[in-house]
Chains A and B, each alone.
Chain A
Amino acid sequence: MTNSWTDIKNADLIMVMGGNAAEAHPVGFKWVIEAMQKRKAKLISVDPRFNRTSAVADVYAPIRNGTDIAFLGGVINWLLSNDKIHHDYVKFNTDATFLTKPDFKFENGFFSGYDEAKRKYDKSSWGYQLDDSGYVKVDDTMQDPLCVYQQLKKHYSRYTPEMVSNICGTPKDKFLQICQMLGEMSAPDKTSTILYALGWTQHTVGSQNIRTMAMIQLLLGNMGRPGGGVNALRGHSNVQGVTDMNAYAEVLSGYLGAPTDADDTYEKYIAKRTPKPLRPNQFNYWSNFSRFYVSLMKSYYGKAATAENHFCYDWVPKLEGGFDIMHIFELMHQGKMTGMLSQGFNPLATVANKNKLSAALGKLKYLVIIDPLETETSEFWQNYGPYNDAKPESIQTEVFRLPAACFAEEEGSFTNSSRVAIWKQKAIDAPGEGKVDSEIMARLFVKLRAMYAKDGGAFPDPIAGLAWDYVQANEPSSAELLREINGRAIGDVYAPPDPKDPKAAPTVLVKAGQQLPGFAMLRDDGSTACGNWLYSGCWTEAGNMTARRDLSDPTGWGVYQNYGFSWPANRRILYNRASADKDGKPWAPNKKYEFWNGKAWTGADVPDMRPNAAPEENVGSFIMNPEGVARLHAIGMAEGPFPEHYEPFETPIGVNPLHPNNPKAISNPAARVFKGDMEAFGKKEQFPYSATTYRLTEHFHTWTKHARLNAIVQPEAFVEISEELAKEKGVKHGDSVKVSSNRGHIVAKAVVTKRIKPWDVNGQKVHLVGIPFHWGFKGQTKIGYIANTLTPFVGDANSQTPEFKAFLVNIEKA
Chain B
Amino acid sequence: MASLQTQDVVARSATTTPTPQVRSAVAPVAKLIDESKCIGCKACQVACMEWNDLRDEIGSNVGVYDNPADLTPNSWTVMKFFEVEPKAGNLEWLIRKDGCMHCEDPGCLKACPSPGAIVKYANGIVDFISENCIGCGYCITGCPFDVPRISPKDNKAYKCTLCSDRVGVGLEPACVKACPTGAINFGTKEDMVTYGDKRAGELKERGFQNAGLYNPAGVGGTHVMYVLKHADQPELEKLPRNPSISPAVSLWKGVAKPLAVAGMIGAAVVGFFHYMKVGPIEEQPEDGKREKEGS
**A26 engages B60 (CB within 8 Å):** no
A447 interfacial contact with B, CB 8 Å? no
A55 to B36, CA, bound (A): 9
A356–B59 alpha-carbon span in the complex (Å):
32
Smallest CB separation, B230 vs chain A (Å): 14
In order of increasing CB-CB distance, the 6 nearest A-B pairs are A733-B63, A734-B63, A26-B180, A716-B61, A22-B39, A55-B93
Nearest A residue (CB) for B37:
A33
Tell me whether B91 and A50 are in contact (CB under 8 A): yes
**From B84, which residue of chain A is reached at the shortest CB distance?**
A754
CB-based contact B39/A715 at 8 Å? no
Q: Is the CB of B49 within 8 A of A30?
A: no
- Chain B residues near A60: list those with CB within 8 A: 91
CB distance from B58 to the nearest CB of A (A): 5
Report A66 CB to chain B, min CB distance, Å: 23
Determine chain B's interface SS by DSSP, over half rule. Answer: loop
- A-B contacts, 28 listed (Cβ < 8 Å): A26-B181, A27-B180, A29-B39, A29-B181, A30-B180, A30-B181, A30-B182, A34-B182, A37-B37, A52-B39, A55-B93, A56-B36, A697-B42, A708-B55, A709-B49, A712-B67, A712-B68, A713-B46, A713-B67, A715-B59, A715-B61, A734-B62, A749-B62, A751-B61, A751-B63, A751-B65, A755-B83, A781-B58
Taking a contact as CB atoms under 8 Å apart, the answer to whether A29 and B93 are in contact is: no
In the assembled complex, the Cα of A26 lies from the Cα of B42 at a distance in Å of 10
| Per-residue interface assignment for chain A, residues 713 to 755, with 1 indicating a CB less than 8 Å from any chain B CB and 0 otherwise | 1111110000000000000111100000000000001111111
Taking a contact as CB atoms under 8 Å apart, the answer to whether B63 and A732 are in contact is yes
CA distance A781 to B61 in the complex (A): 11
Residues of B contacting A715 in the complex (Cβ-Cβ under 8 angstroms):
58-61, 67
Known: A55-B39, A697-B39, A698-B42. Contact between A712 and B65, CB under 8 A? no
Given A23-B39, A53-B39, A55-B40: A709 in contact with B50 (beta carbons within 8 A): yes
Say how far B101's CB is from chain A's closest CB, in angstroms. Answer: 22
Contact with A along B141-165 (1 / 0, CB 8 A): 0000000000000000000000000
Cα distance A254–B17 when bound, in Å? 74
A350, CB-defined interface residue at 8 Å: no
Task: Give the nearest-CB partner of B92 in chain A.
Answer: A55
Residue pair A718, B61 in contact (C-beta under 8 Å): yes
- Interface on A for B, CB 8 Å cutoff? 22-23, 26-27, 29-30, 33-34, 37, 40, 50, 52-56, 58, 60, 697-698, 708-718, 732-735, 749-755, 780-782
Within 8 A of A (CB), among B40-98: 40-43, 45-46, 49-50, 55-65, 67-68, 75, 83, 85, 91-93, 95
Contact with A along B192-214 (1 / 0, CB 8 A): 00000000001001100000000
CB-defined contacts of A30 to chain B, threshold 8 Å? 180-182
A52 in contact with B67 (CB, 8 Å) = no
Contact B93 A749 (CB under 8 A): no
Find chain B residues with CB under 8 A from A29 CB: 39, 180-181
**A780 CA to B62 CA, complexed, in Å:** 18
Q: Is the CB of A755 within 8 A of B46?
A: no
Which residues from chain B sit less than 8 Å from chain A, CB to CB?
Answer: 36-43, 45-46, 49-50, 55-65, 67-68, 75, 83, 85, 91-93, 95, 180-183, 202, 205-206
When distances are taken between beta carbons in the complex, the residues of chain B under 8 Å from A713 are 42, 45-46, 67-68
B199 to chain A: closest CB distance in Å? Answer: 8
B59 nearest CB neighbor, chain A only: A715
Which residues of chain B are near A26, meaning CB under 8 Å? 39, 41, 43, 180-181
- Please indicate the chain B residues that have their CB under 8 angstroms from the CB of A22 in the complex: 39, 41, 181
Q: Is the CB of B63 within 8 A of A780?
A: no
The residue among B83, B180, B182, B205 with the most chain A CB atoms within 10 A of its own CB is B180
